[in-house]
């Protein structure tokens, strides 16, 4: 079952890499070509292709031909892709919640703490 083991390692790598997380996050908003992704992310086109290959091997994205282009989208059955996206989403959301809470504490006239502490668990490894 060597191929399956490679898939497993691919999925681990896919979720541990910031660029690949950014690609997953972008693809959630709609299918994209390699060129689209390269123009939106601070990485080269060959690098994007390489990341997409890892994501595809891991079962997180699927691709299809669209005319002369190859278009990538999230694998709707890719549970780990959903998880990776939501991990980032909640990280952003709680940071925003914390900022709002600090504002609310200041508006309330109470003695505000200098800052809340943001600690993330179970996130990127």
Partner 1 sequence: MKEHNVVASQVVEPVRHAVTVPLASDAAFRLFTTDFNSWWPAHHIGEADLEKAIIEPAVGGRWYERGVDGSECDWGEVLTYDPPSRIVLRWQLDGEWKYDADPAHGSEVEVTFTPDGPGRTKVQLEHRHFERHGSQGQAVHDGVGGDGGWAGLLQLYADKAVA
**Is residue 94 a contact point for partner 1 (CB under 8 A)?**
yes
Q: Does 93 bind partner 1 (CB under 8 A)?
A: yes
Candidates 1-9, 32-40, 41-49, 63-71; binding stretch for partner 1 (CB under 8 A) = 1-9
**Does 66 engage in binding with partner 1 (CB under 8 A)?**
no
Check: CB of residue 18 under 8 Å from CB of residue 124: yes
Contacts of 45 (CB under 8 A, 6+ apart): 34, 35, 38
Tokens of 90: 């909640």
Nearer to partner 1, 38 or 57 (CB): 57
Closer CB to partner 1, residue 38 or residue 82? 82
Can residue 74 be called a binding residue for partner 1 (CB under 8 A)?
Answer: yes
């Amino acid at each position: 079952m060597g191929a399956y083991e490679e898939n497993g390692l691919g999925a681990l790598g896919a979720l541990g890499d910031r660029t690949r997380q950014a690609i997953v996050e972008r693809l959630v908003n709609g299918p994209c070509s390699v060129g689209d992704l390269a123009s939106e992310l601070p990485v080269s086109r060959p690098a994007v292709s390489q990341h997409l290959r890892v994501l595809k091997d891991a079962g997180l994205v699927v691709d299809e031909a669209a005319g002369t282009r190859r278009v990538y989208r999230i694998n709707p059955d890719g549970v780990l892709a959903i998880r990776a996206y939501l991990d980032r989403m909640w990280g952003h959301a709680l940071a925003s919640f914390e900022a709002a809470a600090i504002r609310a504490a200041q508006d309330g006239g109470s003695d505000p703490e200098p800052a809340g502490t943001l600690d993330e668990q179970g996130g990127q490894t």
